[in-house]
Amino acid sequence: MKPIVVEFDGHTLRGALLDDLAPEICSRIWKALPLEGPATNTIWSGDMLRLWVEIPEPEQPEHVVPLQHPGDILFIPGWNGLRFVYGQARMQGPSGAHPVPLVGRLDGDLSSLAAFGRKVEWEGNRPMRVAKG
């Protein structure tokens, strides 16, 4: 696994890319780090932040999972960016659920990320950064 750090509003969370399970996508993300951009909440998917950055698209999806859990990091081919799950969430659009590649995990206490998600919901987009750990 490749170690990463996620930074937002003075907080830093540690995590890892699951390159053993999604090697091609994680390689593209790793090469693109550091990534920095605005974060918003997703519209349809619950407690999930979207980091608006551009990652070179993989040829095909890897490690696709139908359910998501707090701490999951997702990459959705075609929609790009990264998604960070901080509570009850399931990736979906107006037509229903979308199984998506699970590409990483955040470690430890996620309460700061959950508070950040609530702040973004009420106050608008905020900067977020992902770097090699």
Which positions touch other proteins (CB under 8 A)? Answer: 38, 40-41, 43, 120-125
Q: Which is nearer to other proteins, 113 or 120 (CB)?
A: 120
- Give least dist CB 133 to other proteins, A: 29
- Give least dist CB 125 to other proteins, A: 5
- Rounded Cα gap, residues 68 and 97, in angstroms: 11
Q: Which is nearer to other proteins, 109 or 122 (CB)?
A: 122
- In the structure encoding, which two tokens stand for residue 108, read together? 């430890």
- In the structure encoding, which two tokens stand for residue 31, read together? 């090469």
Please give the helix or strand (H or E) that residue 50 lies within, else none.
Answer: strand 46-51
- Give least dist CB 122 to other proteins, A: 5
- In the structure encoding, which two tokens stand for residue 94, read together? 């107006």
Q: Which is nearer to other proteins, 20 or 36 (CB)?
A: 36
- Give least dist CB 62 to other proteins, A: 28
Cis peptide before 94 (omega within 30 of 0): no
CB 9 within 8 A of CB 21: no
Q: Which is nearer to other proteins, 38 or 99 (CB)?
A: 38
